[in-house]
Amino acid sequence: MTAAPAVAELTYREAVRAALRDALSQDDRVFLMGEDVGRYGGCFAVSMGLLEEFGPERIRDTPLSESGFVGAGIGAALAGMRPIVEIMTVNFSLLALDQILNNAATLLHMSGGQLNVPLVIRMTTGAGRQLAAQHSHSLEGWYAHIPGLRVLAPATIADARGMLAPALDDPDPVLIFEHGSLYNVSDSIPDGTEAVDIASAAVRRPGTDVSIITYGGTLRTVLRAADELERQHVSAEVIDLRVLRPLDDATLVDSVTRTHRAVIVDEGWRSGSLSAEITARLVEQAFYELDAPIERVCAAEVPMPYARHLEQAALPRADSVVAAALRAVGGHA
């Protein structure tokens, strides 16, 4: 007789911390490095308690030197370690962009296959907390532009818990984007390490009338929109990309082949965005399946304003997703 797996109620923050603790316990090569990850406990309290458990060598506070410590993570990875570098937020990652693009993403190819960079970089992304223009970016789409990187966006507690282990196991650099609005969200997941893949998109809610494609922080917005659409007798299928690079085209095309309509919801700016890339792929691969123009719901193209009403107006909202889905179905659901 098999016991049913224990179910634990975890916050997103606790899920990431549990994944970090597992990784640090299981492999001496793993260490966590970043600004305020140690004594402070992490800017978002993700690594709280890990310093006491694993010591200052492996929970390593860094100076405010993003390029320096991201590059050091790359070097340590080249030298056989398995560093997890935390960049406090994606906004600060711009100071390390040279290292991420010109070294982490490039060295394997540029060395003719000699140099692997088994590095994991975690960073917080997204808006919605009135942090104004310099602390509210969603630039994961930029990183998804870069060959050589794998880009993950855990939107659920299970993915926050499960994605780190396969990311560390990947011989190539992996970027994990944690949306800042998710850390306090909680859910029940089976106790222990639930293995997840870091290759495929997931259907979070099956539906028949329209495919709504999103990821990360806007997944919950889209699920709320799907509830509202159901009340209006529209059956929305919700797809969580999970992996922003390489994109899982097959899941997207399969869904659109069934629903014939697509809405893409992306907290990044519309121009040159991930939503633009997905639109192009659907047009390339599923053009004749589409019964309506593809709709996009993105952040307004402004530096994010501070005032709450302006910030909310700039971000994808459930009502704007509902409106886009209704336009797509055009009364023919």
Q: Is 97 in the site for another protein (CB under 8 A)?
A: no
C-beta of 88: minimal distance to another protein in Å?
A: 16
Q: Is 75 in the site for another protein (CB under 8 A)?
A: yes
Q: Is 237 a catalytic residue?
A: no
Site string for another protein, 178-217 (x = CB under 8 A): ---------------------x------------------
Q: Could you please report the per-residue DSSP string of 163-228?
A: SHHHHHHSSS-EEEEEETTSTT-EEEEESS-----SS--EEEE--SSEEEEE-GGGHHHHHHHHHH
C-alpha pair distances (Å), 25 with each of 19, 44, 163, 189: 10, 22, 16, 21
E strand or H helix at 9, and its extent? strand 7-11
- Distance, CA of 310 to chain centre: 24
Q: Is 66 a catalytic residue?
A: yes
C-beta of 329: minimal distance to another protein in Å?
A: 34
Q: Which of 14, 35, 86, 135 is catalytic?
A: 135
Biggest CA–CA distance in the chain, Å, is: 61
Could you give the 3-state DSSP secondary structure of residue 130? coil
Q: Which of 14, 35, 66, 295 is catalytic?
A: 66
Q: What residues are paired with 30 via a beta bridge?
A: 82
Site string for another protein, 146-165 (x = CB under 8 A): -xx-x--------------x
Could you tell me which stretch among 6-14, 72-80, 201-209, 280-288 binds another protein (CB under 8 A)?
72-80
C-beta of 56: minimal distance to another protein in Å?
A: 10
Q: Is cis: bond before 246, omega within 30 of 0?
A: yes
Contact set for another protein, span 279-308 (CB under 8 A) = none
Strand runs labelled E in 226-308: 236-240, 243-245, 262-269, 295-299
What's the CA gap between 176 and 185, in Å, rounded? 18
Q: Is 21 in the site for another protein (CB under 8 A)?
A: no
Return the residue of 9, 52, 98, 227 that touches another protein, per CB under 8 A.
98
Q: Is 115 in the site for another protein (CB under 8 A)?
A: yes
Return the residue of 36, 43, 45, 67 that touches another protein, per CB under 8 A.
67
- 267 is written with which tokens? 């907290």
Could you list the residues that contact another protein (CB under 8 A)?
A: 22-23, 25-29, 31, 57-58, 62-63, 65, 67-81, 83, 98-99, 102-103, 108-116, 147-148, 150, 165, 168-172, 199, 245-246
Active site residues: 66, 135
